[in-house]
Each structure stands twice: as C-alpha cells, then as structure tokens.
Amino acid sequence: MLQCWRALAIPLLVSIASAFAASSQSFENSAIVRTVDLGGSLVHVTTTFAARALEPNANAYTITLTEEEIHRTSWLEVKVKGQQQPLTVTYGGGLPDSKFYNLDVQLPSPLELNSTVNIVLETIQTHATYPWPERATQQDEQALKHNTTLFVLSPYKTNVQRTKVKTPSPEVRSYTTPKDVDAFTLESPVTKSGATITYGPFNNLPVSASNEWIAKNQQLISMHYKYDYPVLELTKVKRAAEISHWGANLNIQDDIVLYNAGPELKGHFSRLEHQTQSFYKRSAAHVIPSLSIHLPAGIHDVYYYDLVGNVSTSRLRTAPSVPKNSKSNQYSVMELRPRYPLLGGWNYSFTLGWDSPLEDSASYDQTTGKYIVQVPIMTDLPGSVTNDCEVKIILPEGATDVEYVLPFPAISTEESTHVTYLDTLGRPAITFKYKNLTTKHAKSIYVSYKVPFSVHFRKPIAVATALLSLFVFGMVARRVDLTLQKKTA
Ligand SMILES: *[C@@H]1O[C@H](CO)[C@@H](O)[C@H](O)[C@H]1NC(C)=O
Ligand SMILES: *[C@@H]1O[C@H](CO)[C@@H](O)[C@H](O)[C@H]1NC(C)=O
Ligand SMILES: *[C@@H]1O[C@H](CO)[C@@H](O)[C@H](O)[C@H]1NC(C)=O
Ligand SMILES: *[C@@H]1O[C@H](CO)[C@@H](O)[C@H](O)[C@H]1NC(C)=O
Ligand SMILES: *[C@@H]1O[C@H](CO)[C@@H](O)[C@H](O)[C@H]1NC(C)=O
C-alpha cells in the first residue's frame, strides 16, 4: 500500500517522473468530480476522472495527489468505472521540491485517439478531522472540523471540475467561501443544499500539477459540522494469535489502547446527568458508554478484562462457525461496556481474547504436506482507525518451512521464538507491524508450515513427565496415559 510506496518513493522518483513529462499531453479531463464523505476518524474520498485520449495507444493515466492527501491516505484503490478489477498503480513520487505526488495508473487496454475512460480513485483518509471546539461540556453537541484543498490537481487540462462535500447531517456550522476564483467560474464558487456543499463547477483549468500553479491558485477550504457518533482511535493494538494443534485451537488475544478523539470534557462528569440524557436518548456523542466490536464467527470462551479485572457487564452475540473459504460475512458482535463511560480525550486499556476451533481457519495440503492457517489482522471497530497494530502469529512447537502471504505489505516483519511452559523446542513466531488501519484492511494473513510427525509426540511426553513427577502413584499415571492416548488419536 501507500506505506511501502512511500518507502519506495526516492529510488523510483527520477526515472518515473521523467517518463511522465512526455506523456502529460496524452489526455484531457472532460470532467473531474470529487466526493468527500465526512466522518469522524475516517474520511472517504472518491474522485472520478472522465478522461479523453489525445494520442493513440494511451495506456497510462496519471493521478496527482496533494502533499496533505498523500499523508492522510491510508488506503486507496483505482478502478475503471463499472469494473471490479482494481488497476495497477505505481507511486511515481514528485520532484524533490514539489508540493504534489503522482500515481501512475496502468489502463487495462490502450485507448484509441479521442476515446474516453472513466477512472475512479477511492481513498480512505485517517486523522483528517479534529474536534472543534477542542473542549465541550456534557451537554454540548460534538462538532468536528475538516480541511482540504479546493482544486483537484492534474497533469492534464481539465474542462470542468467540482467537489461535493457530504456532511453526516445538514447542520453545518460553517464552511469556507473560496476567494479569487473568477478565472474559473462566473457563478458562486460554493453552494449548499441539505447535507451537501458543492465547490465549483470550475471551468477550463490548465495543467495544475506544478508548483507555480499551486502557489498562485490552490487554497485551503474547511468545514465545521455536527457529528453525532463516537470518534474512536485504537492507538495501539497488540494481537497474539496462538495456533495449537494439540488443543485444536486458535487463541487470539488483543491488548488494546482505545482513545476517544472527540472534544475533551469541560467541567466535571456527572453520572446523573449522563443517565438522564441516556434515558431521553440524547447523550452527547463524546461520552461513550459502550462500543460494538466485530469478532469472528464460531468463537467461544471470550474474555475481557482491564486494569481492574474482569469486566462482566458486556454482551456477546456469537455467530456459528462458517465453512472455510465460504463467502459468508457472518461475525460475532461483542458489546463492550467499560466500568465508566469513556469521555473525550480519555484513553482506555483493555484485553480481549477468545478461542476458536482450529479447523475453522486451518487446512492441510496433502501435496505439500503443509498446514495453512488464516489469521485475521485486526478486530473491526467500525468507523475507527488503528494507529499502531502488531500481529504476532505463534506457530506450533517445532514448525518448519514457514511461509506467509500478506494481503498488503507490513511496515516490518520479525521472526522470533516463543517459549511457554511445557514447550521443549519453543514455538516459531512471526510479528507483523502496521499503521493507520481501517475497515478496508480487515483481511487475513495466511501462514503455512510443516509440523514433523515426531513433534506431535514431544508434547505428550513433556506433559507426562511433568505429571509423573507430581503424582507418584502408578494408578494415577495410568489414567493420565489413557487420556493422552485419546487426545493424540
Ligand atoms: C478527435 O477530436 C478532435 C476534436 O474533437 C477532432 O478535430 C479530430 O478530428 C478527432 N480525431 C479523430 C481521429 O477522430
Ligand atoms: C499514519 O497517520 C499519521 C497521521 O496522519 C501520519 O503522520 C503517518 O505518516 C501515517 N503513517 C503511515 C505509515 O501511513
Ligand atoms: C487542517 O487540518 C489538520 C488536521 O486534519 C490540522 O492539524 C490543521 O491545523 C488544519 N489547518 C487549518 C489551517 O485549519
Ligand atoms: C476472570 O474470569 C475468569 C473466568 O471467567 C477467571 O478464570 C479469572 O480468574 C478471572 N480473573 C479475575 C482477575 O477476576
Ligand atoms: C492518552 O494517551 C496519549 C498517548 O497515547 C497521551 O498523550 C495522553 O496524554 C493520554 N490521555 C490521558 C487523558 O491520559
């Protein structure tokens, strides 16, 4: 994803940037429409480029993102409108002092002269809103601010472009009116209708991906809007996924630090006031009594504790196991109810864990003699961003030939050995690190490995030795032996 493109930016910069210079006359944008769907932790931005080929065999289209867009974007996908298959995108970087970055999109087939294509860029931005005012009382509504740049940049001429900003409710406290845009429109540069603010249409824009054009014309626009939902950040999630063939179990445990990114509470928190508001269903969005987390289907023995101890006030609705590789989107829902409502600016640390039958996520490949296990990267707390995510996959003792496939590149990968009680060899473990994850990243890592046959016996022997040293009576030892044989069978 972008994370790795950023790392790649420097070496790619020169060659690709110069390859572009020649192709900047190959298209013209008949129309650009950008739609900004404002949320709390996540802002969804979709831009459609209707492009006309000015050269025969045009097969690469360049999308330009501003500096701020590239920093905020944590997920992106480019498609031809109406098609399912995402297009290959190369991060072309920008010239060293430029205020913009190029993405080079490979079209599925070369275009004929004068033919058109509609290219859709879908992105999720994180950390793109902030509470305003920064502090609010328990009675105050929650409001957020977002800012972005007025013009969509392009290395091609554009006949017409507009930006539609959709707010969650029609209650918009303020929005910017652009200045000095007479060159591109004779009408009002901004209009509001219900929950949509439209900037433009702006006509006859020249090539705008240039520092001079940006310095002269680009400007910041901002919106201040009411937001009635929690603004949640998972500042840190450490996941440990432990595969046990011995117990036929996959245990997943998440150590989570949650942050309420809404306005900080002004004054004291009153529980009475909160209960009264909840009763009349007009609780402030920045006072969060509970959260719904999506967990996998088929889980059991779910536990949830915080620094004080077990939290027993939560509710769980489990979905039954689903067959492997089925397209079913079933999930369990855990409603977490912390001891105290989570107020704006507060952090809350807790641990959530569960077991699931290994057969729900593991399969055995006869031809290679390897097990393949699917481990979800993250727990989905809808609408939230996970700033720092660490996934540690702990394989069975003695596992060899370890390979993995990631749905998107990790920032770092580390191999280690995890030793627990009764292990003789230690367990191979792999740790993957990610940043700025969203719902779009709720995918799985696939790990494959071999477990030599002899390893299956090592654990029973270790258990038996430990037990034998505890219970000296032969009768007890015989009963233990029997149960062990049943389990390994
Ligand atoms: C392409 O369009 C331009 C202007 O619309 C026209 O002048 C030209 O003849 C067209 N070329 C072809 C090959 O259709
Ligand atoms: C994650 O988001 C933060 C805040 O927007 C940004 O500063 C950081 O560069 C992002 N990191 C990655 C790896 O995308
Ligand atoms: C624009 O938004 C960012 C956060 O998304 C904020 O840090 C910055 O101060 C804002 N800039 C202006 C000029 O409001
Ligand atoms: C939490 O509950 C589990 C079982 O439900 C129990 O085994 C454990 O001892 C409890 N821990 C605390 C700190 O109360
Ligand atoms: C929450 O955690 C962040 C660091 O992740 C820290 O900067 C902040 O002060 C904490 N807030 C409170 C209220 O403890």
Ligand 5 centroid to Cα of residue 261, in Å, is 10
Integer Cα distance of 49 and 227 in angstroms: 30
Q: Which two tokens stand for residue 145?
A: 């601010």
H helices of 250-389, in order, are: 271-279
Q: Whose CA is closest to atom 5 on ligand 3?
A: 128
> What angle do helix axes 455-470 and 474-488 make, rounded to 10 degrees?
160
Ligand 2 centroid to Cα of residue 7, in Å, is 13
Ligand 3 centroid to Cα of residue 72, in Å, is 12
| Among 86, 220, 208, CA closest to 148 | 220
Where the chain has pLDDT below 70, the residues are: 1-24, 93-94, 279-282, 325-327, 421-424, 453-489
Ligand 5 centroid to Cα of residue 342, in Å, is 13
Please state the atom number of ligand 5 nearest to the C-alpha of residue 235.
Answer: 5
| Pocket lined around ligand 5, Cβ cut-off 6 Å | 235, 259, 345-347
In three-state secondary structure terms, 344 is: coil
Q: Give the ligand with the smallest distance to the CA of 224.
A: 3
In three-state secondary structure terms, 6 is: helix
310 CB within 6 A, ligand 4: yes
Integer Cα distance of 482 and 406 in angstroms: 41
Ligand 5 centroid to Cα of residue 281, in Å, is 29
Task: Read off the pTM.
Answer: 0.86
In three-state secondary structure terms, 172 is: strand
Residue 286: DSSP 8-state: T
What's the pLDDT score for residue 50? 98
Candidate of 300, 305, 310 to mutate for ligand 4, largest count of ligand atoms within 8 Å of Cβ = 310
DSSP 225-267: EE--S--EEEEEEEEEEEEETTTTEEEEEEEEEEEE-SPEEPS
Burial of 201 (0-12, 13-18, 19+ CB in 10 A): middle
Please state the atom number of ligand 2 nearest to the C-alpha of residue 127.
Answer: 5
Please state the atom number of ligand 1 nearest to the C-alpha of residue 114.
Answer: 1
Q: Give the ligand with the smallest distance to the CA of 353.
A: 4
Candidate of 2, 67, 71 to mutate for ligand 2, largest count of ligand atoms within 8 Å of Cβ = 71
Please state the atom number of ligand 4 nearest to the C-alpha of residue 309.
Answer: 13
Integer Cα distance of 232 and 469 in angstroms: 51
Q: What are phi and psi of 274, to 5 degrees?
A: -65, -45
What's the pLDDT score for residue 83? 96
